[in-house]
Amino acid sequence: MNLRWLNWHANTMKKLILMSFAGAVLAGCSGAITRVQTWEGPAASEAQVATLKAPGSVNVIEVNGRRVGNFLMEDLALDYELLPGRNTVIATHQTIWAKSGVVDNGEAKVDTIASEPQQFVIMAEAGDVYRFDLPELSTRAEAKAFAKNFTGRVVDQQGKVVAEARSYQSKPAVLPVLPRSSSDEQVGDNTGTGDEGSEPPGNTLQELKQIWGQATAEERRAFLRWAFE
């Protein structure tokens, strides 16, 4: 049997196996990654949080200073869970267009047209669903024009505008906190020390962890100096 044919057959089978594996991974990711938690700490039920629906053309980079992007597929539509309260969402808009004409060997066959990061401040309410309201872009020229002036909006289920794109401002975010459930409140009532205004230690610890994770190095050093004075 021809050795060259054997090598070709082996390489072909290897490519087919790799393609099948990659397809299974992508299918699994697209099916499993549908909701993204935007805070550190325990998960919450859908009734406790709001949901921000992002189409494949919107790349959510971070929420309240916490990075939530870097997925295997950039054009994946995702639902982002938001804690009730003020949420600062940083996102870009990007579209993918096939190149016209002959493409050189090794050159990308598509062009990606992306905007600069924009900021959306959403006052989220538990149980509500929000979505990005964006224009339909049918041509490459429209995509380029929109990328230069990303003017998207976020609307609620009734179509009311709850946030508009603003220039990205890099500064510490005010973090929302997951509200206490009725079971948490009952436990706090049964195990309290008599101070009606006290807060369960677990909730306070979680808030401190969230704030610490968003603090700058200088802020952390200043806090530690104060704590050990």
Domain span holding position 215? 182-227
Same domain (yes/no): 131, 207: no
Distance, in Å, from the CA atom of 159 to the CA atom of 50, rounded to the nearest integer, reads 16
pLDDT for the residue numbered 72: 47
134 and 115 belong to one structural domain: yes
Those residues whose C-beta lies under 8 Å from the C-beta of residue 185, and which sit 6 or more positions away, are none
DSSP 152-215: -EEE-TT--EEEE-EE---S------PPPPHHHHHHHHHS--S-TT---HHHHHHHHHHHHHHS
- DSSP state for residue 61 in the 8-state scheme: E
Same-domain status, 219 and 133? no
Q: Which of 137, 133, 128 is nearest to 159 (CA)?
A: 133
114 and 8 housed in the same domain: no
In Å, how far are 16, 25, 71 from 19, measured between CA atoms?
5, 10, 19
pLDDT along the chain (229 residues), means of 10: 50 45 39 77 92 94 87 73 96 87 67 92 96 92 92 94 87 67 50 46 64 70 65
Mark whether 40 and 102 lie in a shared domain: yes
Tell me how many domains the chain contains: 3
The pLDDT value recorded for residue 53 is 96
User: Tokens for 128?
Assistant: 């509500």
The C-alpha atoms of residue 119 and residue 166 are separated, in whole angstroms, by 5
Number of residues written out for the chain: 229
The answer to the question of residue 176 being in a domain is no
Domain match, 158 and 90 both: yes
Burial 28-47 (b: 16+ CB within 10 A, else e): eeeeeeeebbbbeeeebeee
26 and 62 housed in the same domain: no
The answer to the question of residue 212 being in a domain is yes
Statement to judge: residues 96 and 202 lie in one domain: no
pLDDT for 219 equals 72
Q: Please give the pLDDT value at position 97.
A: 87
Q: Of the residues 118, 136, 167, which one is the last residue of a structural domain?
A: 167
CA separation, residue 219 to residues 39, 72, 175, 213 (Å): 20, 34, 16, 11
* CB distance 136 to 55 below 8 Å: no
Q: Is 127 left (phi over 0), alpha (psi -120 to 50) or beta?
A: left
In a domain, 173, yes or no: no
Pair 212, 157 in one domain: no
Quote the tokens at residue 11: 């390489």
Residue 204 included in any domain: yes
pTM: 0.61
Q: Whole-angstrom Cα distance, residue 3 to residue 165?
A: 61
CB 74 within 8 A of CB 59: yes
Other C-beta atoms closer than 10 Å to the C-beta of 12 total 10
Residues 28 and 39 grouped into a single domain: no
Specify whether 77 is located in the same domain as 125.
yes
